[in-house]
């Protein structure tokens, strides 16, 4: 038969029960009502910070684009910043060919650079915009050195081209040790041509 608890053991059991009650109260009142929601708010704030940084980058690119377009607008005789031609599909094909030539110019630098996939894009045009846009999607197996030179050529050559998006990841076939070798790169390059109305006026 189990003997009854003495006074010291009863005090110890009471302390344990009290501690459990305090923990349960803290969990229900603090963790559930305050700590959990505060953690959710912190996660939301982090998401908002990342969105703000992404939108700030897009706005910075928009400013550069507007400056270059304004420069082209002030120089109607030259039009060197705009893609030649009037047909969107034909100009997109020309942009793709021009991009291929830029890539070939750096094909033998370092570990090399190779075009693996290309696709011209003619996005839906906004009649409110002063110029029409064409794009080309490029996928490359490219080392860091020729990729840097290629991006420089795209950004600073004529006609004016813009890198709308850039995705770089380590190639799955790269060695486990040493340098990264070639990288898997996806580029979205865009350019602009005159609106059809402007072409008619120029004639």
Residue boundaries of the structural domains of the chain? 1-74, 88-202
pLDDT of residue 12: 73
- The answer to whether 95 touches 110, Cβ cutoff 8 Å, is no
pLDDT of residue 32: 57
- The answer to whether 140 touches 166, Cβ cutoff 8 Å, is no
Separation of alpha carbons 58 and 174, rounded Å: 32
Pairing of strands 132-142, 161-170: unpaired
In CATH, the architecture of 88-202 is 2-Layer Sandwich (3.30)
- The answer to whether 142 touches 149, Cβ cutoff 8 Å, is no
Reported as a single tens digit per residue, the pLDDT across 54-75 is: 667 766 666 677 776 676 566 5
Helices 88-104 and 144-156 sit at what angle, rounded to 10 degrees? 140
- The answer to whether 185 touches 150, Cβ cutoff 8 Å, is no
pLDDT of residue 181: 72
Reported as a single tens digit per residue, the pLDDT across 115-143 is: 999 999 888 877 777 788 899 999 999 99
pLDDT of residue 110: 87
Average pLDDT, consecutive stretches of 10 residues, N- to C-terminus, the chain (203 residues):
64 77 71 60 69 68 69 58 86 92 93 93 78 92 92 87 89 58 90 66 40
Q: What is the DSSP string of 78-109?
A: T-TTSPS-S-HHHHHHHHHHHHHHHHHTTTTS
pLDDT of residue 50: 74
Task: Using the CB atoms, write b or e for 171-201: b if 16+ within 10 Å.
Answer: eeeeeeeeeebbbbbebebbbbbbbeebeee
């Amino acid at each position: 038969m189990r003997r009854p608890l003495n006074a010291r053991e009863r005090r110890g059991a009471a302390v344990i029960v009290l501690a459990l009650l305090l923990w349960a109260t803290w969990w229900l009142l603090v963790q559930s009502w305050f700590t959990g929601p505060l953690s959710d708010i912190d996660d939301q704030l982090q998401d908002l910070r990342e969105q703000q940084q992404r939108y700030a980058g897009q706005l910075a690119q928009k400013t550069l684009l507007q400056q270059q377009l304004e420069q082209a607008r002030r120089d109607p005789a030259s039009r060197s910043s705009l893609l030649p031609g009037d047909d969107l599909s034909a100009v997109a094909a020309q942009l793709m060919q021009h991009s291929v030539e830029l890539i070939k110019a750096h094909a033998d630098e370092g570990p090399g650079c190779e075009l693996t996939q290309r696709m011209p894009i003619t996005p839906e045009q906004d009649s409110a915009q002063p110029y029409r846009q064409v794009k080309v999607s490029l996928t490359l197996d490219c080392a860091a050195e020729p990729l840097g030179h290629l991006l420089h050529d795209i950004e600073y050559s004529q006609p004016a081209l813009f890198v709308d998006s850039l995705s770089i990841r380590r190639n799955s076939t790269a060695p486990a040790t040493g340098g990264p070798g070639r990288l898997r790169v996806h580029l979205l390059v865009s350019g602009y041509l005159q609106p059809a109305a402007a072409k008619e006026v120029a004639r």
